[in-house]
Amino acid sequence: MAVAWFWLEIEITKRNNKAGAQFQLENETNTLESKAVLMGKIGKRKTENKRGALIMGFQYFLQSIL
């Protein structure tokens, strides 16, 4: 009985780790998209950063389509 309980705890831990990793990946993706939008907005205001804003805006546009 103790072996079965130990195995069950291991399986639950594996599933929780996978779910946590997926959640972290989604958060990082959302953060990157937010940064792209923010960089685009900041870059529009600053003339010296137009190229970076254009690139980041284009990357965000491609991500939103795909």
CA distance 54 to 66: 18
Give the pLDDT score at 5.
64
pTM above 0.75? Answer: no
Q: What domain range includes position 64? A: 32-66
- Looking at the chain, list the stretches that DSSP marks H as alpha helix, in order from N- to C-terminal side: 2-45, 50-65
| Domain-located, residue 49 | yes
Say yes or no to pLDDT of 6 above 70.
Answer: no
- How far is the C-alpha of 25 from the C-alpha of 37, rounded, in Å? 19
Task: Confirm whether 12 is domain-assigned.
Answer: no
In a domain, 22, yes or no: no
Q: How many structural domains does the chain have? A: 1
Residue 58 inside a domain? The answer is: yes
Q: Note whether residue 9 is domain-resident.
A: no
Read off the pLDDT of residues 7-55 as tens digits, 9 standing for 90 and up.
Answer: 667 777 777 667 666 666 666 666 767 777 776 666 655 555 566 677 7
CA 3 from chain centre, in angstroms, equals: 38
d(CA 39, CA 51): 11
pLDDT of residue 46: 58
**Dihedral over alpha carbons 14, 17, 23, 26 (to 10 degrees):** -90
